[in-house]
Chain A
Amino acid sequence: MKRLTSLLLVSVMMLFAACSLNPGDTTSNQDAYYPITVTDQSGREVLIESEPQRIVSCYYIPSSLLIALDLDSRMVGIEDNADYRPIYSLSAPELLDLPNVGTVKVFDVEACMATEPDLVIMPLRLRDTASVLEDLGLNVILVNPESQDLLIEMIDVVSRATNKVDRGQELIDFITNTDDMLNSLLDGVDSHTVYLGGNNDFLLTSGNAMYQSGVITNAGGINVAEDIDDTYWAEVSYEQVLAWNPEYIIIAANSQYTVEDVLADENLAVVDAVNNGNVYQLPSNIEAWDSPVPGGILGSVWIANVLYPDLVTDEILENTIEDYYETFYGFSIEA
């Protein structure tokens, strides 16, 4: 255990060292760097003539990435309801005062144009709106962080478009190193079964094709709903949950019900997780780690700590979280 903790500390120190060696993510080398053509996650080639100075994001995942890439000071527009995301007030409170450009559901093209951006980052679902913005003369990058691999690809695309390649690589390294750390800590472990309760309802869960299922498996758990192929939250019955009889129940970070509600639910009284008090809710006081935000890997570390506290100790969990937010978001976490 001590060896593993030492390994982690060494890797954390290496990360800090990498940080100090790469202060050059500035605009000084932009003349040599631009113009650059990047291929976004829709496969479009986007020619960026000069370093973006006015960036708009209408989706909380790339917004969080822009903070991690130290680009929050260049943001001029943000998605609606930004004040629901604690990460902004913790790391970049000035973002809360930016004009909102709507949501993924209702994107406000005019509000976006009014911010006079030179780069707009939006999810793949808004590809039609992207073509309108392009006709209006804007550069648009479409992102699609629906799995950990696609999240890493998104970080790569955005960091290359904004001349933050080194910082982006640090972030990617953090994710892969943390993933490797979990794999090594949990090697040969006797896996526990987990049921993930969705945000809107306990009886909504994530099948194998969803990002959230990967959060559980990365944590050494077995998603009881792994046979469900739906690419979105699937509705299940109490009978199905009883048949699965999970050892642990994890509730999504922004769920509209509580651990107490689940423990008090008589329909679930015979489930092992409820009987043994193994019902937990992912924290939501920083970011929803069950969503594909850049720090989503922390959700796996957190669940691994719940499932295997002797292997993934509280100390490892706290160190990893502290390291991540201090390095990429510039604030400290109280233990």
Chain B
Amino acid sequence: MRPSTALASKHNSLLFVVFGALLCALFILSLFIGKYPLTIEGLISGSELQWRVFTTLRLSRVVVGLAGGFALGIAGFIFQTVFRNPLASPDIIGVSSGASAGAAAGILFFSSSIMVTLCAFGGALIAIVLAIAFSVIDRGGHKSTVVLAGIAVHAIAQTVLMCLKLVADPEKELASIEYWIMGSLNGINSHIIGSNLILCVVGLILLIMLHRQSILLSSSGDEAKMLGVDVTSMRLILLGLSTLVVSSIVSMTGLISFVGLLAPHCAKKLTGNNSVSTMILGGLIGSCILILADILARSVAATELPVSIFTSAIGAPFLVLLIFQGRKDT
């Protein structure tokens, strides 16, 4: 092993230890922060009510924070890698807009939260299918085609969303739609997370298994082709899986901004490369940001605040710091 490689490996290990420990601390802290006075003593003493609150509400919420942040970080990494664009995110392909339009339809026509989740999921899936269908029309295989298709899908979804908002009751459904778009982990409970979490975990495992192919796509298409990768198919598979992972989370929580963009960006700045360890580090950073944002969202005011306020508030200064750090190092 060359000294520089050994140094990089040691540096990466240190980063994993730091962010792993931070995530563990935030996870445990988050389990014991909330309006209900949950205590370790109460749980140890076997209080039925404490255990019910713990399993039905608190644990579900923190697990979704953990999985959601990780999924957004990994999906963001895939988008940035496949598009070779550091500003790429699930928003680019219209996934977020599709999920928003679906959720708005659910709020308007069904009002039950399970139906809102299903409709958001359906909206995200329709968005990705449309984006892929539009991009297939261009047989040239330009990497910008999917981005353009995503912009078209985003525009369509926004039009649908505007129509739905127009017919929504300003004092009831419209307020719910606006709050959903802002995102929150408030409504999470053990009843609604099961199938979404399974879908998310399966998607994440597949994405991690395909990390080599995704990294090859970050180089030029010719190089990937020479190495035996079917560029178009692999790009679509990776984008499809990323969308599934993201929509399985946002269909439960509403939109969560900035994590999918920020987490992988931070990971790349910290490791200085595009390897699988950077991908997983992006996931860990995503989980840390989302859990911390959720702790703040439920504790800084008397009522719950939208989590996206804090993901942006935590993320933006961190990103600026890293940009300055990178400039100083060069």
Question: How would you classify the secondary structure of chain B's contact residues: helix, strand, loop or mixed?
Answer: loop
What total of A-B pairs shows CB separation below 8 Å? 78
Which one of A109-117, A267-275, A316-324 is at the B interface? Answer: A109-117
A135→B169 CA distance, assembly (Å): 31
Whether, in the assembled complex, B35 has its beta carbon less than 8 Å from a beta carbon of chain A, the answer is: yes
B30 to chain A, nearest CB (A): 12
Residues of B with C-beta under 8 A to A102: 186, 303-304
Number of B residues, CB within 8 Å of A: 33
Residues of A with C-beta under 8 A to B189: 109, 132
Whether, in the assembled complex, A232 has its beta carbon less than 8 Å from a beta carbon of chain B, the answer is: yes
Whether, in the assembled complex, B171 has its beta carbon less than 8 Å from a beta carbon of chain A, the answer is: yes
Interface size for chain A: under 10, 10 to 19, 20 to 34, or 35 or more residues?
20 to 34
Residue-wise interface mask of B (32-61) relative to A, using a CB-CB cutoff of 8 A (1 in contact, 0 not): 001111000000000011001100111000
Q: Specify which of A106, A127, A137, A232 is in contact with B52 (CB 8 Å cutoff).
A: A137
Whether, in the assembled complex, B114 has its beta carbon less than 8 Å from a beta carbon of chain A, the answer is: yes
Which one of B81-89, B142-150, B172-180, B224-232 is at the A interface? Answer: B172-180
Whether, in the assembled complex, B13 has its beta carbon less than 8 Å from a beta carbon of chain A, the answer is: no
Instruction: Determine if B52 and A114 form an interchain contact, defined as CB atoms under 8 angstroms apart.
Output: no
Interface of chain A residues 227 through 280 with chain B (CB within 8 A) = 231-233
Instruction: Determine if B34 and A110 form an interchain contact, defined as CB atoms under 8 angstroms apart.
Output: yes
Whether, in the assembled complex, A2 has its beta carbon less than 8 Å from a beta carbon of chain B, the answer is: no
Residues of A with C-beta under 8 A to B214: none
Instruction: Determine if A135 and B302 form an interchain contact, defined as CB atoms under 8 angstroms apart.
Output: no
Instruction: Determine if B303 and A106 form an interchain contact, defined as CB atoms under 8 angstroms apart.
Output: yes
Instruction: Determine if A131 and B191 form an interchain contact, defined as CB atoms under 8 angstroms apart.
Output: yes
Instruction: Determine if A136 and B52 form an interchain contact, defined as CB atoms under 8 angstroms apart.
Output: yes
Whether, in the assembled complex, A218 has its beta carbon less than 8 Å from a beta carbon of chain B, the answer is: no
Q: Specify which of B36, B48, B171, B191 is in contact with A135 (CB 8 Å cutoff).
A: B191
Residues of chain A at the chain B interface (Cβ within 8 Å): 80, 99-100, 102-103, 105-106, 108-111, 113-114, 125, 127-129, 131-132, 135-137, 199-200, 204, 231-233
Chosen A-B contacts, 21 in total, with CB atoms closer than 8 Å, are: A80-B303, A102-B304, A105-B175, A105-B176, A106-B179, A106-B186, A106-B303, A109-B57, A110-B53, A110-B57, A110-B298, A113-B53, A113-B57, A125-B111, A127-B112, A132-B189, A132-B191, A135-B52, A199-B171, A204-B170, A233-B171
